[in-house]
């Protein structure tokens, strides 16, 4: 670097460091977004024979992104900034930005490039193997791939955060600051309220049936319908897409490019609709992040738990509410007149609150869902701790499932092979689903206090106040605030499972005609 001709006009050195650190972080984010495109394309577009080369592409880009993220010049800049920020005139956002970039840097720099590239490749190949294994219910062929991935993730865990328990290290990647002991304690408080609710619902004499939205729903009309709903709740198709995939997902590949997917069942409308409400909930969060902060903590999601709170809020707390169906049913009826001629908003809404223990998590109702998550949390924690061998996973799964649900999977495809996550190296991810439910219920309780007219607005198809609340209280903060503090600041109280328990008992109790209240 040459000395400036007019040094008096230059910003002071730490300001320059901050600008350069931000530019560097953005460059890494651009490469990460290329990885996202490759991932999205793999799940929606890739020809069957293209898998091996896709793994090469992802591994190459992941390795380059890792080099950029671990550039020692960036580390030096961030360390200098952290010292400079002990004094001086810095905003809270600037301090939080540097703190988080430095935290990321220290984590990444401890990972050997070889491990990053091997993990990227193993996870792509793992996902491809999983698709095939699940189709053929072939655990034996898949197990060695999973064992390799678990070994790599354990190595990653101990490299990146040597001072943390290995499972906590992986959990922290998805939910910054969360610790397994806290999650476990929260789950232990939740479970005694969920199990009796499941029992009460399944034993209720007049339990709702999920048969109201069954019928003939042609694919083409469904596409128009779900797209209309997504647009109406605020998803911006100028900055996004909707496609099909085997498992719905949301992928953000740039500040103005957020892609969601769903799947289709021509005999059951909720499959596509709730896929879209869920993924559009994620998408609204991504589209609500500050675009000018792309690639910086201020423009990135706070955590997977916060992400899931957004998807769950739209899917369950909006999409399964009566006011929503007061607006949505007339719209649906214009597109599916024959199938919906004899329905009412009340009958639709009640049918969407049917509770039935079942084998597949992604088809589970809102109440039993959290039991699916707890099972996975305990099993993956045991895997990472070395207390459970990959070879013993299917029987451990089946035993625990039978104990929790009273039914036993008949094969691996409807048991241990049902989820893509582990095959993709996503360990420490499952608990964020239930954290998301907890956060969503707590947010909705606050929203109902803050926006008393919300039911009237939803019934008129007006979603702007609700989205505005989420934008202001959640989206706009990016990950400048850790999830626990973010939820507390947005809702006015510390994180508690209380709101989820109350919400489930109130809504499901009412739909099932239960007199009983949640256990004290």
Stretch that binds a copy of itself, among 46-54, 111-119, 300-308, 360-368 (CB under 8 A): 46-54
CA distances from 414 to 272, 307, 363 (A): 21, 27, 11
CA distances from 383 to 126, 389, 391, 425, 486 (A): 17, 6, 10, 13, 31
For 461, the 3-state DSSP assignment is coil
DSSP letter string over 393-454? HHHHHHHHHHHHHS---SSGGGTTTS-STGGGT--S-THHHHHHHHHHHHHHHHHHHH-TTH
Instruction: Verify binding: residue 241, a copy of itself, rule CB under 8 A.
Output: yes
Torsion of CA 499, 504, 506, 511, to 10 degrees: 160
138 versus 257: smaller Cβ distance to a copy of itself? 257
Figure out which of the listed residues 15, 20, 27, 333 binds a copy of itself, where binding follows CB under 8 A: 27
Beta-bridged to residue 214, according to DSSP, are: 268
Nearest approach in angstroms of CB 475 to a copy of itself is: 17
| Contacts of residue 87, Cβ cutoff 8 Å, sequence gap at least 6 | none
53 versus 136: smaller Cβ distance to a copy of itself? 53
Instruction: Verify binding: residue 204, a copy of itself, rule CB under 8 A.
Output: no
| Contacts of residue 414, Cβ cutoff 8 Å, sequence gap at least 6 | 359, 360
To which H or E segment does residue 464 belong? Answer: helix 464-473
Instruction: Verify binding: residue 238, a copy of itself, rule CB under 8 A.
Output: yes
Instruction: Verify binding: residue 52, a copy of itself, rule CB under 8 A.
Output: yes
Say how far apart CA 229 and CA 333 lie, in whole Å: 13
Figure out which of the listed residues 10, 11, 53, 391 binds a copy of itself, where binding follows CB under 8 A: 53
Instruction: Verify binding: residue 131, a copy of itself, rule CB under 8 A.
Output: no
Instruction: Verify binding: residue 253, a copy of itself, rule CB under 8 A.
Output: yes
Instruction: Verify binding: residue 244, a copy of itself, rule CB under 8 A.
Output: no
Stretch that binds a copy of itself, among 107-115, 232-240, 411-419, 489-497 (CB under 8 A): 232-240
Figure out which of the listed residues 61, 152, 486, 495 binds a copy of itself, where binding follows CB under 8 A: 61
Burial of 349 (0-12, 13-18, 19+ CB in 10 A): buried
- Tell me which long-range contacts 215-221 makes (C-beta under 8 A, separation of at least 24): 215/267, 215/269, 215/336, 215/338, 215/339, 215/340, 216/266, 216/267, 216/336, 216/338, 216/339, 217/265, 217/266, 217/267, 217/268, 217/269, 217/336, 217/339, 218/266, 219/264, 219/266, 221/335, 221/336
Nearest approach in angstroms of CB 253 to a copy of itself is: 8
HEC states along 225-252? HHHHHHHHHCCCHHHEEEEECCCCCEEE
Cβ neighbours of 133 (radius 10 Å): 22
Figure out which of the listed residues 15, 20, 64, 496 binds a copy of itself, where binding follows CB under 8 A: 64
| Contacts of residue 188, Cβ cutoff 8 Å, sequence gap at least 6 | none
Nearest approach in angstroms of CB 308 to a copy of itself is: 24
Instruction: Verify binding: residue 490, a copy of itself, rule CB under 8 A.
Output: no
Instruction: Verify binding: residue 346, a copy of itself, rule CB under 8 A.
Output: no
Instruction: Verify binding: residue 237, a copy of itself, rule CB under 8 A.
Output: yes
Instruction: Verify binding: residue 23, a copy of itself, rule CB under 8 A.
Output: no
290 versus 462: smaller Cβ distance to a copy of itself? 290
Q: Which residue among the candidates 35, 42, 94, 279 is catalytic per the annotation?
A: 279
Stretch that binds a copy of itself, among 32-40, 108-116, 309-317, 457-465 (CB under 8 A): 32-40
49 versus 92: smaller Cβ distance to a copy of itself? 49
Instruction: Verify binding: residue 255, a copy of itself, rule CB under 8 A.
Output: yes
Instruction: Verify binding: residue 34, a copy of itself, rule CB under 8 A.
Output: yes
Site pattern 158..187 for a copy of itself (x: CB under 8 A): ------------------------------
Instruction: Verify binding: residue 118, a copy of itself, rule CB under 8 A.
Output: no
Instruction: Verify binding: residue 257, a copy of itself, rule CB under 8 A.
Output: yes
How many positions of this chain bind a copy of itself (CB under 8 A)? 35
Nearest approach in angstroms of CB 300 to a copy of itself is: 15
Tokens of 162: 């040597």
Let me know if 346 is a catalytic residue.
no
106 versus 241: smaller Cβ distance to a copy of itself? 241
CB contact at 8 A, 62 and 117: yes
The full length of the chain comes to 520
45 versus 407: smaller Cβ distance to a copy of itself? 45
Nearest Cα to Cα of residue 365 among 251, 197, 499: 197
Torsion of CA 431, 437, 438, 442, to 10 degrees: 160
Say how far apart CA 511 and CA 305 lie, in whole Å: 28
124 versus 353: smaller Cβ distance to a copy of itself? 124
Instruction: Verify binding: residue 283, a copy of itself, rule CB under 8 A.
Output: no
Instruction: Verify binding: residue 45, a copy of itself, rule CB under 8 A.
Output: yes
54 versus 372: smaller Cβ distance to a copy of itself? 54
Figure out which of the listed residues 103, 239, 263, 476 binds a copy of itself, where binding follows CB under 8 A: 239
Instruction: Verify binding: residue 254, a copy of itself, rule CB under 8 A.
Output: yes
Cβ neighbours of 253 (radius 10 Å): 21
For 138, the 3-state DSSP assignment is coil
What are the residue ranges of helices labelled H in 270-362?
A: 270-288, 304-312, 322-335, 337-340, 345-351
Site pattern 420..459 for a copy of itself (x: CB under 8 A): ----------------------------------------
List active site positions: 279
Binding site for a copy of itself (CB under 8 A): 27, 30-31, 33-34, 37-38, 41, 45-50, 52-54, 56-57, 60-61, 64, 236-241, 253-257, 259, 294
């Amino acid at each position: 670097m040459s000395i400036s001709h007019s040094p008096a006009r230059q910003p002071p050195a730490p300001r320059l460091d901050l600008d350069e650190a931000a530019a560097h972080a953005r460059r890494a984010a651009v490469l990460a977004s290329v990885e996202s495109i490759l991932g999205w394309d793999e799940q929606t577009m890739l020809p069957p024979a293209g898998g091996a080369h896709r793994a090469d592409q992802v591994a190459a880009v992941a390795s380059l992104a890792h080099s950029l993220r671990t550039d020692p010049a960036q580390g030096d800049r961030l360390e200098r900034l952290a010292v400079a920020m002990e004094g001086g005139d810095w905003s809270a956002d600037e301090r939080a930005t540097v703190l988080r970039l430095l935290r990321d840097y220290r984590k990444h720099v401890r990972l050997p490039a070889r491990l990053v590239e091997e993990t990227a490749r193993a996870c792509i190949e793992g996902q491809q193997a999983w698709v095939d294994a699940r189709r053929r219910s072939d655990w034996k062929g898949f197990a060695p791939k999973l064992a390799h991935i678990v070994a790599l993730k354990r190595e990653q865990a101990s490299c990146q955060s040597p001072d943390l328990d290995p499972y906590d290290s992986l959990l922290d990647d998805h939910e910054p600051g969360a610790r397994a002991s806290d999650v476990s304690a929260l789950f232990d408080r939740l479970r005694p309220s969920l199990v009796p609710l499941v029992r009460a619902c399944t034993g209720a004499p007049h339990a709702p049936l999920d048969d109201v939205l069954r019928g003939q729903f042609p694919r083409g009309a469904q596409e128009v319908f779900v797209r209309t709903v997504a647009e109406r709740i605020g998803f911006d198709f100028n900055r996004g897409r909707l496609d099909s995939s085997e498992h719905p997902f949301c992928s953000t590949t740039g500040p103005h490019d957020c892609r969601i997917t769903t799947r289709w069942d021509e005999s059951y409308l909720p499959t596509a609709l709730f896929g879209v409400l869920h993924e559009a909930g994620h998408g609204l969060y991504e589209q609500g992040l500050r675009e000018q902060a792309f690639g910086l903590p201020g423009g990135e999601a706070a955590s997977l738990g916060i992400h899931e709170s957004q998807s769950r809020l739209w899917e369950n707390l909006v999409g399964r509410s009566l006011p929503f169906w007061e607006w949505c049913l007339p719209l649906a009826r214009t597109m599916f007149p024959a199938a919906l001629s004899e329905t009412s908003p009340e009958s639709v809404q009640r049918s969407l609150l049917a509770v039935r223990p079942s084998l597949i998590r992604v088809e589970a109702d809102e109440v039993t869902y959290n039991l699916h998550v707890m099972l996975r949390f305990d099993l993956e924690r045991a895997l990472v701790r070395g207390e459970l061998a990959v070879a013993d996973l299917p029987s451990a799964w089946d035993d625990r499932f039978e104990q929790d649900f009273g039914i036993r999977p008949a094969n691996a495809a409807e048991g241990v092979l049902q989820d893509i996550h582990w095959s993709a190296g996503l360990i420490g991810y499952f608990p964020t689903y239930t954290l998301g439910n907890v956060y969503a219920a707590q947010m909705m309780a606050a929203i109902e206090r803050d926006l008393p007219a919300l039911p009237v607005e939803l019934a008129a198809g007006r979603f702007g106040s609700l989205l505005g609340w989420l934008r202001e209280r959640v989206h706009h903060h990016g990950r400048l605030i850790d999830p626990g503090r973010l939820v507390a600041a947005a809702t006015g109280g510390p994180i508690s499972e209380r709101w989820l328990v109350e919400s489930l008992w109130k809504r499901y109790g009412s739909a099932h005609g239960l007199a009983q209240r949640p256990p004290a």
